[in-house]
Amino acid sequence: MSVLAITDVRLVLPDRVETGTLLVRDGVIAAIGAVDVPADAAVVDGRGRLLAPAIVDLGVFGVDREACRRGGIVRIALMPDQSPVLDDPGIVQRAALVGRPDLWIHPLAAATRGLAGSELAEMAFCQQAGAHAVATGRGWIADAQVMARVLSYARDLDLAVVTHAEDGGLTAGAVATTGETATRLGLPAAPAIAEALAVARDLMLAEETGARLHIRQVTTAAAIDLIRAAKRRGVPVTCGITPAHLHLSDIAMSDFRTFAHLSPPLRDEADRRACLAAVADGTIDVIASGHDPHGAEEKRLPFADAAAGMAGAETLLPLALMLVRDGLVTLDRLFTLLAANPARILGIDTGRLAMGQPADLVLFDDGAPWRIDGEAFASAGNTPFDGLPVQGRVLRLWKGGRAL
């Protein structure tokens, strides 16, 4: 029997932060708080630092083990937009096993074959192979009948449907949000309402079918209002966002900097502020990295030709901690957004510091200052936050009680 005691830490519990010790036996949390440390325990002195549940990152596009380790992430929900697409049980099974034991990958199976939006994929077989949800990938399913069938099938399997919410008819060819910045730069743009239109339809279908719907990124005030109202009606919907859409507006694109070319595109300041308010009032359920790194050959191009996406795994924690310092959320609430809620949506019993939970733990210094340097990233360093001073460094990471 292996025993680990992490002493003198500030424990980020589901409803509070308190000082104490956490005891792990055979990879499972055995005691929390005022704990008598066994003589045979391996002891780690936390020196007053914070100990929290390790991050569960919902919706990443690339598997970067070292980037995740640096970012305090031990579980990722992998989007189906891989090569090959995660629409076959064998492919799903291989994806689920490739990162272990250091990084547990929870594949999101493609909702439709090849993510083409027409023929349903074999969701039940993919679930048996290890899929924890189904997803539409980077795109939206335009055919309402197909989406209704996806939701109905997923409901019967008790799987959440993770959707990208942008009406493709409006966003085709667009790389920015319609507004002053896009006009000044001469970029092909789509109105922000494209998101609300997609959200409105999918919410109605989710309400009709009773399926669990997770909108992976919600970035506009209009879409947030729709989700807030749907939650009040009891629609089983959750939604997420990335730090980029919380901390940046479309002004970040002003110098044609392709690191700020994202999907969905950055919005105006009013929408950004609406997103912050939605985090504060609980409308937004998940903060994820949106990790989608691209190399220089894909980013050093004219803005409209560059690939959309950013490397986000290594900066998720410090950028999320900015919300705590700004008073929008408490530390315990932040880790509900980073760990507990993503785990719940995926149907995984983890993400909390509680007795009997897997000892997936991150020890970090929330006050440690550093400057984001994309060139020093473990993955391709295309981050719109390059050069930004932040606080918050991961010190130690454990997966099932095993140090990484």
The predicted structure's pLDDT at residue 193 = 98
Query: How are beta strands 17-25 and 28-33 bridged, if at all?
Result: antiparallel
For the domain made up of 54-354+369-389, give the CATH fold. TIM Barrel (3.20.20)
Helix axes 193-209, 221-233, angle to 10 degrees: 10
pLDDT tens, residue by residue, 243-282: 999 999 999 999 899 999 999 999 999 999 999 999 999 9
Residue type, 194: A
User: CB-based contacts of 63: which residues, under 8 Å, 6+ apart?
Assistant: 76, 78, 98, 99, 103, 105
Percent helix, strand, coil in the chain (nearest 5)? 35, 25, 40
The pTM score is: 0.96
Which range has the worst mean pLDDT, 54-58, 207-211, 243-247, 298-302? 298-302
Residues in the chain: 404
Strand order of the sheet with strand 133-135?
A: 55-60, 73-78, 104-110, 133-135, 161-163, 213-215, 237-241, 286-287
Residue type, 367: G
Nearest to 257 by CA among 291, 292, 299: 299
Confidence of residue 100 (pLDDT cuts 50, 70, 90): confident
pLDDT band at 153 (very low <50, low <70, confident <90, very high): very high
Q: Angle, to 10 degrees, between the axis of helix 193-209 and the axis of helix 144-157?
A: 50
Q: What is the pLDDT of residue 99?
A: 83
What are the tokens at 125? 């077989």
The answer to whether the CB of 4 falls within 8 A of the CB of 359 is yes
Confidence (pLDDT) at 296:
85
The alpha carbons of the chain give a radius of gyration, in whole angstroms, of 21
User: Which pLDDT score, from 0 to 100, does residue 381 have?
Assistant: 78
| pLDDT at 70 (0 to 100) | 97
Strands (E), 224-263: 237-241
Residue-wise pLDDT for 218-238, tens only, equals: 999 999 999 999 999 999 999
Average per-residue pLDDT in the chain?
Answer: 96
Angle among Cα 87, 160, 291 to the nearest 5 degrees reads 70
Mean pLDDT computed over 171-186? 96
Contact 260, 254 (CB under 8 A): no
Categorise residue 256: left if φ over 0, alpha if ψ from -120 to 50, beta otherwise: left
pLDDT confidence of residue 1 = 65
Q: Are 336 and 279 in contact (CB under 8 A)?
A: no
Q: What is the pLDDT of residues 101-142, one digit of tens each?
A: 889 999 999 999 999 999 999 999 999 999 999 999 999 999
The answer to whether 284 and 221 are in contact (CB under 8 A) is no
In a 13 Å sphere around the CA of 235, the CA atoms on its Cβ side amount to 27
Task: Tell me the per-residue pLDDT of 186-202, one tens digit each, with 9 for 90 and over.
Answer: 999 999 999 999 999 99
Burial of 356: CB neighbours in 10 Å, binned 0-12, 13-18, 19+: exposed
**289's tokens:** 């990295």
What are the residues whose beta carbons fall under 8 Å from the beta carbon of 173, sequence distance 6 or more?
188
* 358/399 Cα distance (integer angstroms): 8
Span 208-227, mean pLDDT? 98
Specify whether the CB–CB gap between 268 and 177 falls below 8 A. Answer: yes
pLDDT at 155: 98
Helix (H) or strand (E) holding 250: none
Q: pLDDT tens-digit profile of 42-68? A: 999 999 999 999 999 999 999 999 999
| pLDDT tens for each residue of 339-395 | 999 999 999 999 999 999 999 999 999 999 999 999 999 988 799 999 999 999 999
Q: What is the pLDDT of residues 310-330, one digit of tens each?
A: 999 999 999 999 999 999 999
Pairing of strands 361-371, 50-53: antiparallel
pLDDT score at 143? 97
